[in-house]
Structure 1
Amino acid sequence: MPFDPDRVETLTFDSYGTLVDVAAVEAALANVDGVTDPEPVSNHWRSRSLLYTMVANAIDAYQPFYELNRAALTHALAAHGVETDAAEREAVLETYHGLDVFDDVADGIAALAADYDCYVVSNGNPDMLDSMVEAADIGDVIEDTISADEVESFKPDAEIYRHAAARTGTPIDRIAHVCGPFFDVYGAMNAGMQAVRVARGGEPWDDFAGDPDLTVDDFHALAAELGV
């Protein structure tokens, strides 16, 4: 259905791929002996990490996201024939505590926070989110972070979105969830939120189960849609 700005009372934001750029890990991977092209290793790592979260949901095998991300990195390096030790992998993994922040994030959320309560809702565990909020310099403009760790279930399970609604004290249909990844868009809509897709990097939409309620290029465009 078309996006309805009049229904929005609270904004929730995804983290990875929405506030911070997961492709920034390529610089760390490039420094690993044996990695000749970091991009496919990075892509394998990210896709495997997300796959692990969804399998963990399906078989009730929750682990904090940082642990799953470590396992996914190990698999990605091995799949590309790169031999590493635990210390080398840990150094690469730690880049998730300092990923590059998209240019529109700090001032975009600050503008939105003038009219709306803003929260981060993420698969990341609390330590990861603390680091991300500090790196993005949004601690003064968001109300709180809400982690999958609190319900031990990952997106796109409806439980995390319902939990977010309870934590914000907002009826779920009065929340607009702002995110980049397609599964997060679908998860939020399925749970009853409006979903705003931030189309970063020109990636095409995964159009197999409908369209987002709204698609924007950045947070400034969202502010314009909301009349901020």
Structure 2
Amino acid sequence: MLDTSRVKAISLDLDDTLWPIWPTIERAEHVLHDWLTEHAPMAAALFSNPGALREIRNHVAEHRPELKHDLSAVRRESIRLALYRAGEDPLLAEPAFDAFFTARQQVELFEDARPALERLARRFPLVSLSNGNADLARVGLDGFFRAAVSAREFGVGKPDPRIFHAAAGAVDTPAEAVLHVGDDATLDVVGALNAGMQAVWVNRGDHLWPHEQHPHATVRTLTELCELLD
């Protein structure tokens, strides 16, 4: 059971907790494809082939393992490799990625997200904790958060306990006094539990719990989370 008296700070996952990620990525990939069609049509054709694109991403993952926690770098290097293989200018990778990245920040929040952030931020220091590459300032939510911790900058991703401890340290709170909130059963909940935190699972899709360890609470919306903490 969730012990609300212990909660002195909250760490929050971003993708699929505050907004649905796949519609965002799909829109951004359409923007990237349109940009390539205009500026590097041969690379655009290569990116339209799912098999070729998968091979490119696998190649980057195999040959640049140091980038595995930096989704922006993986995306940029995949674009660069596609440009090279298509006989286009690899220097176009930077503006092509910028087009993608700008669109990737244009998220559509879940209806409950902003009201919940307003309520939570009035009571607790909030820190974002993400394996993704969302930019809170560009998304327009940075005002709710005291700090942001990402796998890209930290070099280690969830569920590694070290990144949870880094999030706790970013708001000057012991891990046992931090409540982590996220949608991923393994990355968020089990990771937080193994780091000594309490954890709330945001289960918007009515999924079955897959692990022996259990969250301290499960909610369908962030509104329910706020009500639990009231």
Q: Distance in 2 between matches of 1:157 and 1:18?
A: 19
Which position in structure 1 is the counterpart of 2:114? Answer: 106
Q: Distance in 1 between matches of 2:206 and 2:102?
A: 26
Asked whether the equivalents of residues 177 and 194 of structure 1 are also in contact (C-alpha less than 8 Å), the reply is yes
* Structure 1 residues not aligned, in runs of 5+: 78-82
Query: Do the aligned partners of residues 28 and 124 (structure 1) sit closer, same or farther apart at CA in structure 2, a change above 3 Å counting?
Result: closer
Q: For residues 49-128 of structure 1, what are the structure 2 equivalents within 5 Å?
A: 64-70=70-76, 90=97, 91-124=99-132, 128=134
1:164-203 CA distance string (max 9 Å, x none): 1122111101100111122221111111111111112x15
Which position in structure 2 is the counterpart of 1:164? Answer: 167
Query: Do the aligned partners of residues 141 and 61 (structure 1) sit closer, same or farther apart at CA in structure 2, a change above 3 Å counting?
Result: closer
Deviation at 1:72, TM superposition (A): 7.4
Deviation at 1:118, TM superposition (A): 1.1
Q: Distance in 2 between matches of 1:167 and 1:104?
A: 26
SS of 1:215's partner is strand
**Partner letter of residue 196 of structure 2?**
G
SS of 2:193's partner is helix
TM-score by length of 2: 0.70
Q: Distance in 1 between matches of 2:66 and 2:96?
A: 26
Deviation at 1:155, TM superposition (A): 1.0
Which position in structure 1 is the counterpart of 2:197? Answer: 193
Q: For residues 1-228 of structure 1, what are the structure 2 equivalents within 5 Å?
A: 2-23=1-22, 24-29=24-29, 32=33, 64-70=70-76, 90=97, 91-124=99-132, 128-129=134-135, 132-135=136-139, 137-182=140-185, 183-200=187-204, 202=205, 204-227=207-230
Q: Percent identity?
A: 27
Deviation at 1:113, TM superposition (A): 1.5
* Structure 2 residues not aligned, in runs of 5+: 35-43
Higher share in helix: 2
**Partner letter of residue 170 of structure 1?**
T
Q: Distance in 2 between matches of 1:161 and 1:175?
A: 9
Asked whether the equivalents of residues 73 and 93 of structure 1 are also in contact (C-alpha less than 8 Å), the reply is no
Q: Distance in 2 between matches of 1:72 and 1:156?
A: 25
Q: Distance in 2 between matches of 1:211 and 1:94?
A: 37
Asked whether the equivalents of residues 176 and 195 of structure 1 are also in contact (C-alpha less than 8 Å), the reply is yes
SS of 2:145's partner is coil
Q: Distance in 2 between matches of 1:97 and 1:138?
A: 11
SS of 2:181's partner is strand
Q: Distance in 1 between matches of 2:73 and 2:153?
A: 16
Asked whether the equivalents of residues 148 and 167 of structure 2 are also in contact (C-alpha less than 8 Å), the reply is no
RMSD of Structure 2 on Structure 1 (CA): 3.5
